[in-house]
Amino acid sequence: MTQPASTRRLAVITGASSGIGEAFARAYAKQGVDLCLVARRLDRLEALALELAQQHGIEAFAVQADLSKPDATDRIVTALAEQARSCDILINNAGYSLPQTFLATKAQQQTDFVAVLVTSVVSLTHALLPGMVQRGYGRIINVASMVAFSSGAAGHTLYPAAKSFVVKMTQSLAAEVADKGVLVTAICPGQTESDFAKANGTDQLVAKSNLYKQTAEDVVAIAMSANEAGREVVVPGWPNKLAVAFMKILPDSWTAALIRPQAKKFALPDPTA
């Protein structure tokens, strides 16, 4: 028998239209969790919401929101209020990268990037966390990256900085709310089979890579298990764990010398004048 919506948890998932976000949606739906799916592509969100609702007997609804815009958090909060629902699980997953160098991009592209990967994580978490604390239950998973532990390299200029911010924010937040029934985890995957590279135009470069890759489903399963176990920062996959361990142990100059030649393989050339 399907549980009534009033007794089911609800997960808010950003970037839910594909990749890791979609995998989170499918995994939580399978557990009987209702879904608020957030992304810009409304048609894909609505199709996924309908599919998962019919397949698992849950409620799922879509919220079209561009997280680079200042009103994005308000749109999500308003949609929850209209559905008379509260957020029990927050997945801050939305993200992308700019593979060119800093000067080859427009300033607006970089500020939009920071808004999606940093500002929206802060804003949405700040809006939904009080309800979790009040109810004595909450789960937050922030999708970071193993590059959070690396030195910067040419191309994808702000990506390591943004993901490092997410990791540090997760650790501080976890320390603040651990005794309030809220568990906070940063999952830091490496290369993952998803639409991420296709979105930034580096899919052919990634396809040629012989680096260790994981499926979105594997990353999500590890993230959910780690979150329930109260782990704050998780690097999925032993090859990734080993790489991060070296990045932490080696001097920055050594790490940069190792990483920067590899990073060039995943950056697009700047347009010629």
159 in active site: yes
CA distance 191 to 155: 16
- Of the candidate ranges 38-47, 63-72, 172-181, 242-251, the one whose mean pLDDT is the lowest: 242-251
Tokens 């594909």, residue located: 18
Q: Average pLDDT of the chain? A: 90
CA distance 125 to 111: 20
**Bridge-partner residues for 142, per DSSP?**
92, 186
CA distance 46 to 194: 20
Whether the predicted pLDDT of 6 surpasses 70: no
Whether the predicted pLDDT of 253 surpasses 80: no
Grade residue 272 by pLDDT with cuts at 50, 70 and 90: low
- Domain extents in the chain: 8-266
Whether the predicted pLDDT of 199 surpasses 80: no
What's 202's DSSP letter? -
Whether the predicted pLDDT of 222 surpasses 90: yes
Grade residue 194 by pLDDT with cuts at 50, 70 and 90: low
Check: CB of residue 139 under 8 Å from CB of residue 89.
yes
Check: CB of residue 36 under 8 Å from CB of residue 84.
no
How many percent of the chain have pLDDT more than 90? Answer: 75
CA distance 54 to 56: 6
> Exactly one of 28, 137, 159, 212 is catalytic; which is it?
159
| Amino acid sitting at position 95 | G
- Name the CATH superfamily, with its identifier, for domain 8-266: NAD(P)-binding Rossmann-like Domain (3.40.50.720)
Closest CA to 49 of 13, 82, 74, 92: 13
Residue 267, exposed/middle/buried by CB under 10 A (0-12, 13-18, 19+)? buried
Closest CA to 89 of 49, 42, 32, 39: 32
3-class SS at 40? Answer: coil
Closest CA to 91 of 138, 40, 43, 152: 138
Whether the predicted pLDDT of 206 surpasses 50: no
- Of the candidate ranges 56-60, 131-135, 198-202, the one whose mean pLDDT is the lowest: 198-202
Check: CB of residue 194 under 8 Å from CB of residue 18.
yes
Give the pLDDT score at 209. 54
Tens-place pLDDT, residues 24-61: 999 999 999 999 999 999 999 999 999 999 999 999 99
